[in-house]
């Protein structure tokens, strides 16, 4: 199925996971956390399957990829230097992935908040619509957990494998999409 040609499908969900510049301690003077990778998985909730996965590398404007960040994410400065500017990444999300029209989910609120901060700082239009679901909160509620688990722990709880590299935006979005589908199968995904 080519989801891009099926624009009228009502129950597609974008699952987004970002990786951002990070440091072991405080950021160097003048540096801020900036998105360097946007992972996006498309879930067809009606069919109960993941139908597409994407990766957008983003070139940071006000920070560099630290050795700590490379160890965590696998991303290098040389790799993200080949990425697009943040404004172009937002344009791609809106134009190619219908981010403004399609509901979306992320694991926690970090991704949504990081986009909000970075769009405001860059003077770029926020690419997403208002229909956001915090998949971590939905998972925690559905499993009656006292603490909100990280994505890798949630996969274990759900009996699902961790596919790919943890802290890769593309792989994490794909794994979060599997968790969304597990919740939908249980009847616990918010409509």
For the stretch 158-172, pLDDT in tens is: 999 999 999 999 999
Phi (first) and psi of residue 178, to 5 degrees:
-65, -40
Q: Could you tell me the CATH number of the domain that includes residue 181?
A: 3.30.420.10
Q: Is the pLDDT of residue 5 over 70?
A: no
pLDDT tier at 9, thresholds 50, 70, 90: low
Decide if 95 is inside a domain. Answer: yes
Please indicate whether residue 70 or residue 10 has the higher confidence score (pLDDT): 70
Q: Is the pLDDT of residue 126 over 80?
A: yes
Cβ-contact 148, 140 below 8 angstroms:
yes
Measure the CA–CA gap between 191 and 184, rounded to whole angstroms: 9
pLDDT tier at 1, thresholds 50, 70, 90: very low
Predicted pLDDT at 178: 98
Predicted pLDDT at 3: 45
Decide if 130 is inside a domain. Answer: yes
Q: Is the pLDDT of residue 74 over 60?
A: yes
How confident is the model over 111-132, as a mean pLDDT? 97
Q: Is the pLDDT of residue 109 over 50?
A: yes
Question: Mean pLDDT in the chain?
Answer: 95
Decide if 30 is inside a domain. Answer: yes
Q: Is the pLDDT of residue 130 over 80?
A: yes
Predicted pLDDT at 158: 98
Residues of the domain holding 35:
3-186
Percent of the chain whose predicted confidence (pLDDT) is above 90? 94
Cβ-contact 170, 55 below 8 angstroms:
yes
Decide if 191 is inside a domain. Answer: no
Predicted pLDDT at 86: 98
Contacts 24+ apart (CB under 8 A), 186-191: 186/142, 188/138, 188/141, 188/142, 189/45, 189/133, 189/138, 190/133, 190/138
pLDDT tier at 45, thresholds 50, 70, 90: very high
Predicted pLDDT at 8: 53
Distance of CA 50 to the CA centre of its chain: 14
Predicted pLDDT at 52: 98
Q: How many domains does the chain have?
A: 1
Predicted pLDDT at 10: 72
């Amino acid at each position: 199925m080519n989801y891009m040609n099926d624009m009228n499908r009502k129950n597609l969900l974008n699952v987004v996971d970002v990786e951002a510049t990070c440091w072991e301690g405080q950021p160097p003077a003048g540096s801020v956390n900036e998105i360097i990778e946007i992972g996006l998985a498309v879930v067809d909730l009606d069919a109960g399957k993941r139908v597409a996965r994407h990766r957008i590398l983003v070139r940071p404007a006000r920070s560099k990829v630290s050795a700590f960040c490379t160890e965590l994410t696998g991303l290098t400065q040389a790799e993200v230097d080949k990425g697009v500017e943040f404004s172009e990444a937002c344009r791609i999300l809106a134009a190619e992935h219908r981010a403004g029209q399609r509901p979306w989910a992320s694991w926690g609120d970090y991704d949504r908040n990081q986009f909000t901060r970075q769009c405001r700082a860059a003077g770029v239009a926020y690419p997403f619509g208002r229909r956001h679901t915090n998949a971590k909160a939905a998972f925690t509620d559905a499993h009656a957990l006292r603490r909100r688990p990280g994505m890798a722990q949630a996969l274990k709880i759900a009996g699902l494998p961790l596919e790919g590299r943890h802290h890769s935006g593309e792989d994490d979005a794909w794994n979060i999409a599997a968790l969304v589908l597990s919740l939908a199968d249980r009847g616990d995904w918010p409509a």
